[in-house]
Structure 1
Amino acid sequence: MMRAVLVGFLLLATGMAHADGEQAGDFDYYVMSLSWTPTWCALEGDDRDSPQCDAGQGFGFTLHGLWPQYERGWPAFCPTTERNPSRQMTGEMADIFGTSGLAWYQWTKHGVCSGLSASDYYATARLAYGRVNRPTVLRHLDREVRLPAALVEQAFLEANPELTAEMLTVTCEAGRVQEVRICLTRDLEPRACAPDTARDCPLSEALFSPMR
């Protein structure tokens, strides 16, 4: 009896797992997340001995991901018939993702929900990343500073006049400026973020480390 119950539970769990993934290509807009590499290195990358964090690499705002989004919530790990990217393909994306490993993970979690092939998803991500000016003033800091997180948003608005405050949000983690997230239509045009995405960091003295 117990064995039958266990088998039934496992079959149910397997069925639920297959039902978890939303339909690929069914989403409303994109969130492009730009990660400030020095923050990621301080909180995670250094402990992993990531080459992204080596001195002289010069990584600033790298692409954390291009995420399909609903007006409320987001899909992830969608079933897809598209082939996974090759090692060469992910390696060629390391210049904007920071590592090939992140490029791979972003495909498996988010790219599969775009309805695109891996090559088209990466091409779309590169196009979106290239359309945004990363503020030079933030890249040229020569020492660690504390600043209002709102100043990072303002720097992006000044560098990208087509953006408004409703189209981007700045996040923090562990008292540090972590990411800038920009909301884009499926055609990669700037748009207002939905309420569950718009959650600006309120810190007035967030730590911001210089590039390495």
Structure 2
Amino acid sequence: MATARKAPRMVAIWAVVVVVVVVAADLFGAAVARSASARHAVGKKQREFDYFALALQWPGTICASTRHCCAINGCCRSEPLQTFTIHGLWPDYDDGTWPACCRHTSFDMDKILPLKPTLEKYWPSLYCSSSSTCFSGKGPFWAHEWEKHGTCSSPVVKDELEYFTTALDLYFKYNVTEMLASGGIHVSNGKQYALTDVIDAIKCAFGASPQIVCKKGSVEELRLCFDKDLKPLDCLTTTATNENVSKKKYCPRYITLPTYDPIVHANSTREIITVESEVYGYLYTS
């Protein structure tokens, strides 16, 4: 009799397990399909993009997980980074997908040599590993961003130098760290801010809604979107309501902009050449 009474519970448990496995498989399958689609697109003609996303990283969230330092990692500098830094300028499609690796061209550091000091300061790698490039190679963080995204930025951006110059111009013109500060949102190791307040501060200063990616309740990335004339544009996933932003990007109602304590590398004062591996967001990987 005892066995008979337990049978329904066992059936229910197995039903839950099956549902979880099916959902996990669907999510994994979708991720694999998107990855396969991106690989399939490499080197093939792709349609023109619809808008730009300027992706910015919050070092306080990313660098807090640094355990082993190296001279090429911006997180390992003696002075902690306390402003948003550039991840990349990404041409995207309105349907949530994006072009990638549109031309078979290699990154050439000599073409952007005058920008190197500025790039090292405001567009550093926050990792020690090398980045993948479009055609089965490895290289600096900047090489990854140019080959994967910059080559798809035509006709707005026509060459490597213009790609990095355009990204830097937008970064300085629309200073997100200052926008948030003007709205009372400051760097703080513990103070929480309402997600809606963070979004409203950006909308007030920038004129359009951002995209926000969180990690364990802290801002990891913030993205500003632009039309092809480089005018502010509502980001694709934030055009409905502020509540929708939280749901779409898995940010809680209250978020933080944390600081971090750098692990200083012995040779961190020497010239830094930035390299980085992929950074994965909640909505898409870039």
TM-score (norm 2): 0.56
Matched-pair contact (CA < 8 Å) for 1:32–1:67: yes
Matched-pair contact (CA < 8 Å) for 1:34–1:181: yes
Letter in 2 for 1:186: K
Counterparts in 2 of 1:48 and 1:163: CA distance versus 1, 3 Å: farther
| Structure 1 Cα separation of the partners of residues 141 and 93 of structure 2 | 23
Secondary structure of 1:177's match? strand
Cα distance, 1:179 vs. partner?
A: 1.1
| Structure 2 Cα separation of the partners of residues 58 and 47 of structure 1 | 17
Letter in 2 for 1:86: M
Counterpart of 1:75? 99
Flag the structure with higher strand content.
Answer: 1
Counterpart of 2:140? 101
User: How large is the Cα RMSD of the aligned pairs?
Assistant: 3.2
Equivalent residue in structure 2 for 1:42, among 64, 68, 73: 64
Cα distance, 1:19 vs. partner?
A: 5.1
Which range is displaced more, 70-79 or 199-208?
199-208
| Structure 2 Cα separation of the partners of residues 57 and 176 of structure 1 | 17
Matches within 5 A, 1:1-212: 20-23=42-45, 26-43=48-65, 45-49=66-70, 51-53=73-75, 54-72=77-95, 73-80=97-104, 82-86=105-109, 89=113, 91-92=116-117, 93-99=119-125, 101-115=140-154, 116-136=158-178, 137=181, 141-158=187-204, 160=205, 162-164=206-208, 167-195=209-237, 199-210=248-259
Counterparts in 2 of 1:98 and 1:147: CA distance versus 1, 3 Å: same
Counterparts in 2 of 1:150 and 1:55: CA distance versus 1, 3 Å: farther
Matched-pair contact (CA < 8 Å) for 2:211–2:238: no
Matched-pair contact (CA < 8 Å) for 1:33–1:64: yes
| Structure 2 Cα separation of the partners of residues 104 and 139 of structure 1 | 33
Structure 2 unaligned blocks of 5 or more: 1-37, 126-138, 240-244, 262-286
| Structure 1 Cα separation of the partners of residues 124 and 185 of structure 2 | 16
Who wins on radius of gyration, i.e. which is larger?
2
Counterparts in 2 of 1:131 and 1:143: CA distance versus 1, 3 Å: same
| Structure 2 Cα separation of the partners of residues 150 and 142 of structure 1 | 18
Which range is displaced more, 116-125 or 200-209?
200-209
Counterpart of 1:11? none
Structure 1 unaligned blocks of 5 or more: 1-15
Cα distance, 1:180 vs. partner?
A: 1.0
Cα distance, 1:157 vs. partner?
A: 2.9
Matched-pair contact (CA < 8 Å) for 1:67–1:111: yes
Matched-pair contact (CA < 8 Å) for 1:77–1:108: yes
Identity %: 26
Matched-pair contact (CA < 8 Å) for 2:59–2:81: no
Counterpart of 1:10? none
**Residues 162-203 of structure 1: CA deviation (Å, up to 9, x unaligned):** 413xx3121102332111111101221011222499634431
Counterparts in 2 of 1:142 and 1:17: CA distance versus 1, 3 Å: closer
Cα distance, 1:125 vs. partner?
A: 0.8
Cα distance, 1:67 vs. partner?
A: 0.1
Matched-pair contact (CA < 8 Å) for 1:135–1:156: no
- Number of paired residues? 191
